[in-house]
Structure 1
């Protein structure tokens, strides 16, 4: 009797031990599953893939970001996506990146095998949001590998008026360096520039001739083309130089001792004639105050008022008498300024034949 009770107690204890071991096993399995899920989400998920890409941009590792699977694309894919196939890669470098901070994945949704990963961030101090498409790219051992289903590159279609040189996020460029036409690039032809998304790109001009505080664009949509137009304005120094050239041009006109100075914006016709052995003397009584305004790829001098003064001796055709003649002659000055390939300016004042470089 005692032996049966002992066996029964042992069996009961064994069942308790087995139940405890089963519970421990289930808890351990759940812990492993939870840990695996956490590792997957942190290191091997589409979210983790996008976060690594954003981390590369944030740390300025442009070359590594470009090597991320699915970022670099061939020319045929660019053209099919609506991006200019000859777009320059000049801005896909560290020197052209701006700051990228506070990036955070806000959602991850699967749609027909493609994951849509939405992120918020601050780029160059501007808050933005973007959505990236990610797809399976095989396996690395037992964990999935990923790639961008759609490249996160985008295009800025940039037109800069008034300057061949400019900077993007402080990175200096010349239109002839990034145009597919090279040295034959026309001043008003748009420039096609590939950029990373997300990113803020600020275009500025700062030359001796022209400047602009800058135009910024947030590249937040993959494979999108964003037109950007920048109009540089003449610098104070450039305006001063043009004023000096106009003053010199008018002074040279005033040196001509004739009633109608050649290729000049002022002159005088009289009913009588100059007295024998007498030459008229011109002076500029009121100098024009020159301004400069954009004119397509170049510049123009809008018409401005000025006054010349003439002193002469006039002989009457009626009775031959001679009298002193003194008169102010109002006139207007205008002109064009063409920026030459070497960066110098060709200034034409008052007449297409008057040229001063």
Structure 2
């Protein structure tokens, strides 16, 4: 039904409207392809995807994406919970726009910025154009590389904790391949020895491993155990009612006659225990003790008796045999080890 103000829609005008609508749809589709190609199918997206795999502990997917070689070593940090822990200190991850590489138009570099335990860091990745999918979308692949590794060194112990996971040491050393970026913390604590946590941030591949050298320190329990054994040894020396206790540093010389029942040794000061690591073993510094001897001497010529008190300082050494849980102290007096 026509009205006085209505205008008939001709076939030409209808076709024009459909054409304009089709062009608009095509423009939107092209724009969508361009946007998708710059985001979902860009080198930067691949780097973001890699970081997401690492944060989720998906080491197999990350390794497949990178196509990287894995150096020899303990792979504990390449998957699962330990991998997640290496990423827990990585925050505020972002990427720059891909940059062309002058020598090869098919290559792009992408620099990622992030904080590692609160400190600004960055890593750079190289990707190669690998053709197109669905005729429109670019495909990018990481350039082949070799993962970095971390070498952990510690004496005295045969295992350490790395990001809360215990790993064995062989001759005091272990090597761990890692992804980058990664934050690794290493430490250990046993009854006799411990090492404060030391950490590294790995931001790129490297020919040589990043090293974590743990400094072993004796624990209070270790020093206390040595102190107890040294005191027991000296108390045993003091209990002997002789002028030269057997296997002991104490000695008193006199030309007078001495009634053994009057001889009494007393320890005034026990040694201070000072332990250090030297030439592959734990050693004690020379030990000093102060003791007082009371006795009654009888002059052989006159027969007169005299009560004496003699105070002196005596030195000796001791050998240690240690493990992470045990320690044995063998005193050395007069150049000979003393059986206890």
TM more than 0.5: yes
Counterpart-to-counterpart distance in 2, 1:277 and 1:240: 34
Counterpart-to-counterpart distance in 1, 2:250 and 2:279: 31
DSSP 3-state at the match of 2:235: helix
Mapping for residues 104-253 of structure 1, pairs under 5 Å: 104-111=94-101, 112=104, 113-136=106-129, 142=135, 143=137, 145-151=139-145, 153-175=147-169, 179=170, 185=171, 187=172, 190-223=173-206, 225-253=209-237
Judged with a 3 Å threshold, the aligned counterparts in structure 2 of structure 1 residues 330 and 202 are, in CA distance, closer, same or farther, namely same
* 1:94 lines up with 2:88 in the alignment: no
Aligned match of 1:288 in 260, 271, 274?
A: 271
Query: What's the offset of the Cα at 1:95?
Result: 3.0
Judged with a 3 Å threshold, the aligned counterparts in structure 2 of structure 1 residues 37 and 47 are, in CA distance, closer, same or farther, namely same
Counterpart-to-counterpart distance in 2, 1:130 and 1:238: 44
1:75-99 CA-partner distances (Å, limit 9, x unpaired): xxx4xxxxxxx42223223332231
1:152-183 CA-partner distances (Å, limit 9, x unpaired): 622112212343332111112232xxx3xxxx
Judged with a 3 Å threshold, the aligned counterparts in structure 2 of structure 1 residues 66 and 339 are, in CA distance, closer, same or farther, namely farther
Q: List alignment gaps of at least 5 residues for structure 1.
A: 1-9, 79-85, 180-184
Judged with a 3 Å threshold, the aligned counterparts in structure 2 of structure 1 residues 59 and 353 are, in CA distance, closer, same or farther, namely same
Query: What's the offset of the Cα at 1:214?
Result: 0.9
Q: List alignment gaps of at least 5 residues for structure 2.
A: 1-9
Judged with a 3 Å threshold, the aligned counterparts in structure 2 of structure 1 residues 349 and 57 are, in CA distance, closer, same or farther, namely farther
Judged with a 3 Å threshold, the aligned counterparts in structure 2 of structure 1 residues 223 and 44 are, in CA distance, closer, same or farther, namely farther
Do the aligned residues in 2 keep the contact of 1:92 with 1:196 (CA within 8 Å)? yes
Counterpart-to-counterpart distance in 2, 1:110 and 1:256: 87
Structure 1 equivalent of residue 322 of structure 2:
339
Aligned match of 2:310 in 327, 334, 337?
A: 327
Do the aligned residues in 2 keep the contact of 1:303 with 1:332 (CA within 8 Å)? yes
Structure 2 equivalent of residue 182 of structure 1:
none
Counterpart-to-counterpart distance in 1, 2:319 and 2:97: 57
Do the aligned residues in 2 keep the contact of 1:162 with 1:233 (CA within 8 Å)? no
Counterpart-to-counterpart distance in 2, 1:305 and 1:291: 11
DSSP 3-state at the match of 2:65: coil
Judged with a 3 Å threshold, the aligned counterparts in structure 2 of structure 1 residues 120 and 235 are, in CA distance, closer, same or farther, namely same
Query: What's the offset of the Cα at 1:294?
Result: 4.0
Judged with a 3 Å threshold, the aligned counterparts in structure 2 of structure 1 residues 108 and 322 are, in CA distance, closer, same or farther, namely farther
Judged with a 3 Å threshold, the aligned counterparts in structure 2 of structure 1 residues 272 and 230 are, in CA distance, closer, same or farther, namely same
Q: TM-score normalised to the size of structure 1?
A: 0.74
Structure 1 equivalent of residue 7 of structure 2:
none
DSSP 3-state at the match of 1:91: helix
1:59-78 CA-partner distances (Å, limit 9, x unpaired): 2333433343423x25xxx4
Query: What's the offset of the Cα at 1:319?
Result: 6.5
Counterpart-to-counterpart distance in 1, 2:160 and 2:114: 27
DSSP 3-state at the match of 1:231: coil
Structure 1 equivalent of residue 46 of structure 2:
49
Counterpart-to-counterpart distance in 2, 1:350 and 1:321: 38
Judged with a 3 Å threshold, the aligned counterparts in structure 2 of structure 1 residues 70 and 315 are, in CA distance, closer, same or farther, namely farther
Counterpart-to-counterpart distance in 1, 2:144 and 2:181: 14
Counterpart-to-counterpart distance in 2, 1:140 and 1:33: 15
Counterpart-to-counterpart distance in 2, 1:141 and 1:317: 118
Counterpart-to-counterpart distance in 2, 1:323 and 1:243: 36
Judged with a 3 Å threshold, the aligned counterparts in structure 2 of structure 1 residues 280 and 232 are, in CA distance, closer, same or farther, namely same
DSSP 3-state at the match of 2:285: strand
Query: What's the offset of the Cα at 1:51?
Result: 1.0
Structure 2 equivalent of residue 353 of structure 1:
337
